[in-house]
Structure 1
């Protein structure tokens, strides 16, 4: 109890001693670096509008740095713009532009070095190699930033928000475009990605690697090179996201590779080459999602097992489901398929005849892509109808025994 009282007293005394420093053309201090030299832990530095070309700005004290009217911090294509090397730092209200470009050093608009409880919010980051980089951080918040770059090749640009070996991060309501990956997680745990818009990035809107026990919720991933990739990961929750217009030869809304024990719920997959591409996945529940106007609703490779696909809507896809093998180790239950031609005599809302969502043409296209030239031909339609009556190539147990007669109101 005595120790808690002393800690409280010490924190209160620091708060009482804290001061506010002002930087600007008409202020006592003309540079941010000068204000940082005069500051102490707990202080606030307010920077008024203007352009500040001060090279790399190192924050190594527990301060709050606030910009008024978005003062511009210009790296002049030479260096990292802001380096944070202290806990409990707040960075808010700046326009941070023109970091250096170097593949070995990864210069950033803002970088956090092995620190905790850092808040980066309400900033504009423009034309930086990496936007915001959290390295070995804990309990950090990246919120309501606009992060844009103009990369043309993924080797020549970094990621918008890059997080490595961190935990308990909150990535909230950011807009990211023009980077290699919009958001990148590697060895990041117990973190949330919420209400972000990641669009027109060269590779992925979001890229997960070796990052367990995370959630991404209510984000928009649109018109990226290959959508979203979640790899070598377990216990991920993916709720209420939009995967839209991710087109390309090897593109998809969502790639799942070597992941397990995860939940994909109430997402929208629209106008992607493949809505979901699954490879080496196990114990994934895909529930109450909408797959609409995709080339393939889902591609489920033969290496996938114990996945449950239940209560989803499949609407206007060229192919609802595709696979590259004959062994079926996943279950399909109570989905709505707009291609289902069965009947419901007892009027219980469930088709009386099971549905085989894997068409013969989907199997042929998987093994020989040039057969797409025959799409919508009379011969292919005849083959598909014959296959449904007397299955010979498609697996018998690739089946939804309880197909819904009406789409779910998702």
Structure 2
């Protein structure tokens, strides 16, 4: 392996000035060489990599694509790009321009890279063994059609996406047909649509990420064998905004997550065999909004704190289990002092049923009328599932 330094690679332009080009460095290098790129601004686009190579920016290396296309196109295995900034990616309604485009390539590392004013940040397809770590990716999204996603994977496997910050994009992180991958310690915020959006992606883990102030929160669709642990879903407000949207999800674990100040913390549609354990739902409009075809879900040892509605349910049938949760609105007692309320708790209120049918009724929230109808439904359930009850409500919050 050789070490190439950009200072010695100069291209003479037609006007007689010397200009260093990264493409020239790559073309000159041999397989598995390391290129050290010297400080400076490089006005280049469509830099093509077709051999195993490592590119490392020494300090303050900026590549300006001048809105003309891609920055890097990686078409080889074993490529590493580190310590480089790129900006002004081309924008198109017919091409998915990206700062770094990776196709059919394996064993790729993208680390300590700053990408600004992008269309897509990283666009990766049909690749595996990808490591994306400690990068900053942003754009200036104003419309969904006018921008792409920060980290976009399609038909990939064994990816590690860690410690990245993504904002002002369409979706921060997007997975489609991705498997056996980990998304950890990322901060995805102020994106136009979703902080995280994945579909048809099985056997993936999402750990210790923060998703806040995104237009529609986080969407998880048509996937199975998912683990979501110790993530934060915060301040996702809007008429169609969720902390977490689950649609057609099977056999998943949602554990130790925080959902705070979202319009709907979790919206469930066709979610089956999911364990919700040790999560905290606080100050949301709806903590849980359960639509049809949700079966055999377990809600255990969760905290429900000061939500306008703890649970909303649109069916009279219930095949889900609620047991051993803490409900801040629970008013029962614990005579035997075992930490478990002696009176079962019904989390579904009649008013939530009414609001589901007639959203305009929300203006009556906090009124005496609402208290009266909720009490009557509590005494004699008619509209809410009779068996949707927590038989062992906790008297103290779960730590």
TM-score range, shorter chain: over 0.9
SS at match of 1:371: helix
Please report how far the alpha carbon of residue 99 of structure 1 lies from its aligned counterpart in structure 2 after TM superposition. Answer: 1.0
* Structure 2 residue 176 is matched with structure 1 residue 221: no
CA distance in 1, matches of 2:114, 2:60: 8
Whether 1:21 and 2:4 are equivalent positions in the alignment is yes
**Residue 373 in structure 1 maps to residue 356 in structure 2:** no
Aligned to 2:193: 203
**Distance (Å, rounded) in 1 between the aligned partners of 2:270 and 2:292:** 8
Question: Structure 1 regions of 5+ residues with no counterpart?
Answer: 1-17
Contact 1:302 1:328 in 2 (8 A): no
Matching residue within 57, 60, 71 for 2:47: 57
Is residue 306 from structure 1 mapped to residue 296 from structure 2 by the alignment?
yes
The reply on whether 1:361 has 2:351 as its aligned counterpart is yes
Give the alignment of 1:1-20 within 5 angstroms: 18-20=1-3
Q: Distance in 2 between matches of 1:369 and 1:274?
A: 14
Q: 1:383 aligns with which of 363, 373, 376?
A: 373
1:219-368 → structure 2 map (5 Å cutoff):
219-368=209-358
Q: Note the C-alpha offset of 1:101.
A: 0.5
Aligned-pair distance for 1:394?
1.8
Residues 319-376 of structure 1: CA deviation (Å, up to 9, x unaligned): 0000111111111010000000111111000011100000111111111111111111
Q: Give distance in 2, aligned partners of 1:268 and 1:141.
A: 27
In structure 1, what is the Cα distance between the partners aligned to 2:185 and 2:363? 40
Deviation at 1:69, TM superposition (A): 1.4
How many matched pairs?
390
Give the deviation of 1:302 after TM superposition.
Answer: 2.7
- Structure 2: distance between partners of 1:118 and 1:28: 25
> What aligned pairs does 1:106-145 form with structure 2 within 5 A after superposition?
106-145=96-135
**Cα distance, 1:300 vs. partner?**
1.0
Asked whether the equivalents of residues 162 and 184 of structure 2 are also in contact (C-alpha less than 8 Å), the reply is: yes
Extract unaligned runs of 5+ from structure 2.
Answer: 11-19
The structure in which a higher percent of residues are strand is 2
What is the rounded CA distance, in whole Å, between the counterparts of 2:366 and 2:22 in structure 1?
A: 65
Shift of 1:28: 4.2
The offset of 1:54, in angstroms, is 2.1
Separation of aligned partners in 2, 1:393 and 1:23:
72
Q: Is 1:179 equivalent to 2:169 in the alignment?
A: yes
| TM-score normalised by the chain length of structure 1 | 0.94
